[in-house]
Amino acid sequence: MVARVGEYKYADIEEVLAVAHTRGEPAFLLMLDAVQDPQNFGTLLRTAEAVGIHGVVIAERRAVGVTPAVIKASAGAVHHLKIARVTNLARTIEAFKRANVWIVGVENVSEAKDVAEMDYTLPLALVLGSEGAGLSRLVRDKCDFLVRLPMWGKVSSLNVAVAGSIVLYAAKQQRERKQRDDK
């Protein structure tokens, strides 16, 4: 048996932002800067859906799109998320900033805050960089904040899907705590 699957229909930025508005929550977005591995992308989509991300933004070029391998790696999460594919991530960051969304890059650099020190209750977009190079210079420069995961072992970095999942869960826990405290 052969199934013919149509091309994935990407959302636009307005649709991604509308999800947060519809839910009455501060924006909780994920942006991926040149993530190329389908397994990493699928894993991040699975985690994003599990923590209630409102939408995901990826670049058109130098990044993997939604492919059958990504759909499989996401365990179907891709079907429950709004994913936008944009020409220019830096311009999209500027559009998010105009919509009062704070941009938080995840990067293992000395000037980054420890992941536990960030206020994730703000309307925000978490930005993860490529598997080898991390965030591109232009995207990193446009971030309002940088956070890093402390590393105690001999390995100096984590896989982008692992690091992203850790930060997504840290953000979700903090947002839930604030929701409970506000009640």
Which pTM value belongs to this model? 0.93
Give the type of residue at 12: D
CA 131-89-22 angle, to 5 degrees, is 105
Structure tokens belonging to residue 23? 């839910």
Secondary structure class of 59 (helix, strand, coil): strand
**Sheet of 102-106, strands arranged across:** 83-86, 55-59, 28-33, 124-129, 102-106, 145-148, 113-114
- Per DSSP, the chain holds a count of helices (H) and strands (E) of 6, 7
pLDDT-derived band of residue 132, with 50, 70 and 90 as boundaries? confident
**CA-to-CA distance for 45 and 8, rounded, in angstroms?**
14
pLDDT-derived band of residue 173, with 50, 70 and 90 as boundaries? very high
Instruction: Report the pLDDT averaged over residues 16-45.
Output: 95
Domains of the chain from N-terminus onward: 13-149+158-182 (3.40.1280.10)
Write out pLDDT tens, residues 45-84: 999 999 999 999 999 988 999 999 999 999 999 999 999 9
Write out pLDDT tens, residues 116-128: 999 999 999 999 9
Secondary structure class of 148 (helix, strand, coil): strand
**CA-to-CA distance for 34 and 117, rounded, in angstroms?**
26
